[in-house]
Amino acid sequence: MSEQVTNGGTAIRRPETVSRAARSREANPSGLEPYLVVRDLEVTFPTADGPVKAVRGLSYSVPLGRTLAIVGESGSGKSVSSMAVMGLHNPQSTRISGSIRLGGHEVVGMRQEELRKLRGSTAAMVFQDPQSSLHPYYTVGKQLIEAYRAHHNVAKAKAAQRAIEMLARVGIPNPKKRMGDYPHQFSGGMRQRAMIAMSLINDPKLLIADEPTTALDVTVQAQILDLIMDLQRDFGSAVVFITHDLGVVAEIADDILVMYAGRAVEYGQVNKILGAPLHPYTWGLLESIPAVSGEPARLHPIPGAPPSLLAVPSGCPFHPRCEFREQVQGDLCRTETPDLIPRTADTSRTSRCHLREPDRVFETTVLPRLP
């Protein structure tokens, strides 16, 4: 028996024994039945300079009612992988392989028409910049009404009522009146709230929030985070939250996936990973936090910069920046890519590093309010 895996159009035969072994090593941090299951996801952009492999062998899962945070430096593949989950890539210019199952339905290879039905009803995404999602020429109310009617066969008046309820739910004062406003008449924070209202108007089971608060000032950021957490509690959705801010992760996420150069390098429950990270890249991220509420800033940035995806270093892609590679025997870090596997007795968490017994136990003092 063997399994067919398509990789950029080429069918690769993989012995079943290998894939079963690989699968048994995939972490399921909560042990709950997942709603979103991403497995061996690869996203490649053919470019004039060669193929850009933006996401490589990515696997994770998110159950309903739980929040997964995806973190990593700029260019690590957070947005590209999430856009694949939403079926937002142009099929003409993007090669996608692997599997993305959403409530049992396979998203990879789904027809555009089905994808459109899925987006906004089963799954919704909030972006950093609501300008890109709210149309400047239509009133906020009209856009909310249309978003609802795209998936519900109801009269305008009923949809308007639902829109007003949603605006009220996300904390927009005087929602009936604000329905007639254009996006530019809203403040940045209000626009982001309206965007969240639009995302949630059809009760999606999955919400992906891609740095939804980065463009907002700190007070508004905190309000929007509270709002997303409240709404998740009420709607019971699965949430994927993309952020650069590990303070935010500690605050709102259950699980964390750390990405580097298109790959997951550490994955598991937030309290375990941020409490005792196993990957030197996660150590680096924790040490380079500018400042977390009440904590002093950590000024020990990771040396160097992430690699170009057209020239990813051999072996462990992080090895040129890693201060711990000397502690691994031989030339392993340069020559062999480590697997993402459990590195401790706890099989619910995995990391991708050759270090066997980390000589340094990372002492965490950064986390604001961990359980």
Ligand X SMILES: Nc1ncnc2c1ncn2[C@@H]1O[C@H](COP(=O)(O)OP(=O)(O)OP(=O)(O)O)[C@@H](O)[C@H]1O
> Do residues 271 and 359 make contact, with C-beta atoms less than 8 angstroms apart?
no
CB 60, min distance to Mg ion, A: 16
Residues in binding contact with ligand X, number by CB under 6 A: 13
Measured from the CB atom, is 53 or 349 closer to ligand X? 53
Measured from the CB atom, is 79 or 282 closer to Mg ion? 79
Q: Which does 76 bind (CB under 5 to 8 A by kind): Mg ion, ligand X, none?
A: ligand X
CB 44, min distance to ligand X, A: 9
Q: Which of 141, 40, 127 is nearest to 88 (CA)?
A: 127
Measured from the CB atom, is 47 or 187 closer to ligand X? 47
> Do residues 121 and 159 make contact, with C-beta atoms less than 8 angstroms apart?
no
Give the type of residue at 315.
G
Cβ atoms within 10 A of the Cβ of 236, count?
13
CB 78, min distance to ligand X, A: 4
Two tokens, residue 281: 């890249």
Give the type of residue at 183.
P
Two tokens, residue 115: 């994808």
CB 326, min distance to Mg ion, A: 33
As a whole number of angstroms, the distance between CA 149 and CA 132 comes to 21
Two tokens, residue 235: 């709607």
Residue 309 binding ligand X, by CB under 6 A: yes
Compose the 37-76 pattern: x for residues touching ligand X by CB under 6 A, - for all others. --------x-x----x-x-----------------x-xxx
> Do residues 37 and 353 make contact, with C-beta atoms less than 8 angstroms apart?
no
Residue count (the chain): 371
Q: Which does 235 bind (CB under 5 to 8 A by kind): ligand X, Mg ion, none?
A: none
> Do residues 282 and 302 make contact, with C-beta atoms less than 8 angstroms apart?
no
Helices (H), 54-155: 78-85, 112-118, 140-149
DSSP 346-361: -TT-EE----SS-SSP
The residue within the footprint of Mg ion, chosen from 30, 79, 192, 337 (CB under 5 A), is 79
Alpha-carbon torsion, ordered 366, 367, 368, 371, to 10 deg: -150
CB 52, min distance to Mg ion, A: 15
Measured from the CB atom, is 54 or 172 closer to ligand X? 54
- Which residues in the chain belong to E strands, given as ranges? 2-7, 10-15, 34-47, 50-63, 67-71, 95-102, 105-106, 123-126, 206-210, 238-242, 255-260, 263-269, 350-351
Measured from the CB atom, is 77 or 98 closer to ligand X? 77
As a whole number of angstroms, the distance between CA 201 and CA 210 comes to 18
CB 243, min distance to ligand X, A: 9
Measured from the CB atom, is 30 or 79 closer to Mg ion? 79
Measured from the CB atom, is 73 or 287 closer to ligand X? 73
Residue 307 binding ligand X, by CB under 6 A: no
As a whole number of angstroms, the distance between CA 141 and CA 131 comes to 15
Q: Which of residues 242-271 bind Mg ion (CB under 5 A)?
A: none
Measured from the CB atom, is 45 or 182 closer to ligand X? 45
Part of the chain binding Mg ion (CB under 5 A), chosen from 61-69, 76-84, 159-167, 253-261:
76-84
Residue 213 binding Mg ion, by CB under 5 A: no
Q: Which does 30 bind (CB under 5 to 8 A by kind): Mg ion, ligand X, none?
A: none
Q: Which does 45 bind (CB under 5 to 8 A by kind): Mg ion, ligand X, none?
A: ligand X
Part of the chain binding Mg ion (CB under 5 A), chosen from 32-40, 78-86, 312-320, 338-346:
78-86
Two tokens, residue 172: 């927009």
Q: Which of residues 74-93 bind ligand X (CB under 6 A)?
A: 74-80
Q: Which of residues 11-30 bind ligand X (CB under 6 A)?
A: none
CB 43, min distance to ligand X, A: 8
Measured from the CB atom, is 24 or 74 closer to ligand X? 74
Q: Which of 57, 62, 22 is nearest to 43 (CA)?
A: 57
Residues of this chain that interact with ligand X (CB under 6 A) are: 45, 47, 52, 54, 72, 74-80, 309
